[in-house]
Amino acid sequence: MSLNPAISLLSAVGFSLILSFSKFELFFILPLIFLIYLNYKNILNILRKLLFLNFFVLVLTLFLYFETNINEALNLFLKVNFILLFNLLLFYSSNGFDIVKAFMILKFPKKFSSTLYFTVKSIFDLNMEFKNIKESLKARNFKAKTDIFTYKTYGNIFGILFLKTIKNSEKLKDSFKARGFKGEIFINYENSFSLVDSILIFLISIIIFLKVVL
């Protein structure tokens, strides 16, 4: 069962902000347990991504350890990992356009939502093009080395991606001009509110109450 995009976005912002400006405590694990239950099929892939991101987290933790003490470093390590894991669990199955839907549900300005939509679409198209180029290089048995040919190949790839981006943006611009675009896009989405949304809101509310109200 999927979460409402707007609830996911608000939960991500709320949880991240509260944990960022608070000392780590065990009750922050409550919404994580719930999200792990919802994403149990993808948990290994999510943990792999978290492990990759921890390379940068460990660098920051070590720096803080030498500058302050072990308690501060451990507090930072746990807080950053909880924030990363929470957001990975929330948005692992998202294709990017869910964020646009979230802002539309929350009634953000139409131009903002439209700009965000085109930004996400451009990133999505660019990523697809990059994957196609990678597959093409694999098919030709290309192997990266420290030589001029490799550097030229990478330069050509970036050049192709840059030109593709410009061409796609120009085509999109001409297409919307022909359709009389007036700064608003229309996306089909469901603004439903389910049991899992209620549970997540309840768990986040507990954290807000314990850290802000008390």
pLDDT at 12: 93
CA 55 to the chain's CA centroid: 18
pLDDT of the residue at 117? 84
Q: What is the pLDDT of residues 170-195, one digit of tens each?
A: 887 777 777 776 767 777 777 788 89
pLDDT of amino acid 1:
55
> Mean of the pLDDT values across residues 72-82?
91
Q: Is the pLDDT of residue 75 over 70?
A: yes
Q: What angle do CA 197, 101, 80 make, to 5 degrees?
A: 65
Chain Cα centroid distance, residue 158? 23
Query: Tens digit of pLDDT for each residue in 90-136?
Result: 998 887 788 888 888 888 888 888 888 888 888 888 888 888 888 88
The set of residues, in sequence order, having a beta carbon less than 8 Å from that of 207 and lying 6+ positions away, is: 15, 18, 27, 28, 30, 31
* pLDDT recorded at residue 183: 67
Residue type, 145: K
Q: Which two tokens stand for residue 121?
A: 């679409």
Whether residue 13 has pLDDT greater than 90: yes
Distance between CA atoms of 174 and 49, rounded to whole angstroms?
39
How many other CB atoms are found less than 10 A from the CB of residue 15? 23
Mean pLDDT value of segment 136-162: 83
pLDDT tens-digit series, residues 121-132: 888 888 888 888
Which amino acid is residue 149, in one-letter code?
A: F
pLDDT for position 34: 94
